[in-house]
A = this chain, B = another copy of it.
Amino acid sequence: MSETPVRRSGRVTINDVAARAGVSRGAVSLAFNNRPGVSEATRERIMEAVTELGWVPSQTAIKLSGSATGAADTVGLVIARPARQLGLEPFYMEFISGAESVLEEHRCSLLLHLVRDVTQEIAVHREWWQSRRIAGSILVDIQQNDPRVTELAAIGLPAVAVGHPSLTGGFTSVWTDDEAAVHEAVRYLAALGHRRIARVGGHPSLGHTIIRTAALNSIVAELGLEPARSVTTDYSGEQGARATRSLLASPHRPTAIVYDNDIMAVAGLSVAAEMGLDVPRDVSLIAWDDSQLCQLTHPTLSAMSHDVFGFGADVTRRLFDVVHRRDLSSGPAAPPVLLPRGSSAPPRQPTD
């Protein structure tokens, strides 16, 4: 992890912070623990030194601090998506439920905050961590060149990042093997006889959207299929419906569509019915994430099935390892598995 600016506990000591701020060790302790006895100006100077040096006090110091009530049994999660949109996406509630299943075992709680963008997210994490309200955080929706990777590492926040290690810097990360999953879905469709495959993807700035697009392009080239069209969306059913309508109305209609979540695939199924197209004979649909929605539609939706609940639990278990410095290693989550159901079949007639 030498390529990151993370400084772990033990490298920087309270003496370094005191020296940088030009104060006594006692003053650092008072300021850090939010106790009276230092002026506001001094407090600010000390906290700047803490941030600059990435000082993390030992667990013993935390336990001894009277003001740390709560920090030891609280985990933070900040989500930078519009509040209204979040309620419509089964992924997050399942992820949070999985996280809660582990937190519950440890009698811990989740401190949840919705913000507008990553800049606000950084500010919230900084405040939570420096005011000792959380023991650590879960970072989600990792982007390319994500500013959280450097800025939150710099303040020494213990965290697990949900994203491919190529995107998460020195943070412990847990990721889904999106490339393998896209390859599996496309190989299966190609084996059924599909040659023109499209994709309704997620948000274009997210790391895993970019990985999935690249994986789709590489596998269709490798298998000699037609170039694949990917449309990006905000993950909402509404945009999923619009993207599906646009793909199915195009002169070179795809015979199969792969979706980046399941709510958009449900919307796609409805658009096909509205346009008088039979699923799977006229068009095959493959969903992603596989919440219970996929089994409630008619026909049922084939999906890249991903235990989102288990993923949330796994990430949270790793966060406890990171917080207690037992294990900082990254690892992939259980790989998504293709579950063919009623929405995928050979195309009605060969395409070319």
Is A295 part of the contact surface with B, judged by Cβ < 8 Å? yes
- When A69-B67, A110-B113 are in contact, do A237 and B296 touch as well, CB less than 8 Å? yes
Is A86 part of the contact surface with B, judged by Cβ < 8 Å? yes
Instruction: Report the bound CA distance from A67 to B101 in whole Å.
Output: 29
Contacts of A62 in B (CB 8 A): none
Instruction: Report the bound CA distance from A90 to B291 in whole Å.
Output: 11
Select A88's contact among B90, B95, B115, B267, beta carbons within 8 Å: B90
B-contacting residues, A82-96, CB 8 Å: 83-84, 86-90, 92-96
Contacts of A274 in B (CB 8 A): 298
Instruction: Report the bound CA distance from A128 to B297 in whole Å.
Output: 42
How many monomers of this chain does the complex have?
Answer: 2
Is A343 part of the contact surface with B, judged by Cβ < 8 Å? no
Contacts of A266 in B (CB 8 A): 293, 296-297
Select A97's contact among B84, B109, B300, beta carbons within 8 Å: B84
Is A131 part of the contact surface with B, judged by Cβ < 8 Å? yes
Check B114 against A111 for contact (C-beta < 8 Å).
no
Check A111 against B113 for contact (C-beta < 8 Å).
no
Contacts of A308 in B (CB 8 A): 87
- Minimum distance in angstroms from A264 CB to a CB of chain B: 9
Contacts of A237 in B (CB 8 A): 292-293, 295-296
B-contacting residues, A204-261, CB 8 Å: 236-238, 241
Is A161 part of the contact surface with B, judged by Cβ < 8 Å? no
Is A35 part of the contact surface with B, judged by Cβ < 8 Å? yes
- When A103-B113, A110-B112 are in contact, do A131 and B86 touch as well, CB less than 8 Å? no
Instruction: Report the bound CA distance from A84 to B312 in whole Å.
Output: 11
Contacts of A95 in B (CB 8 A): 87
Instruction: Report the bound CA distance from A293 to B263 in whole Å.
Output: 8
Is A36 part of the contact surface with B, judged by Cβ < 8 Å? yes
Q: Which 5 A-B pairs have the closest CB atoms?
A: A87-B94, A87-B97, A273-B298, A93-B93, A100-B114
17 contacts between A and B (CB under 8 A): A67-B69, A69-B131, A74-B133, A84-B101, A84-B309, A87-B93, A87-B96, A88-B292, A90-B93, A101-B114, A103-B113, A236-B292, A266-B296, A266-B297, A270-B296, A270-B300, A293-B293
- 12 further A-B contacts with Cβ under 8 Å, apart from A270-B296, A270-B297, are A67-B69, A69-B132, A69-B133, A83-B100, A84-B101, A86-B100, A87-B308, A87-B309, A88-B291, A100-B114, A266-B293, A269-B298
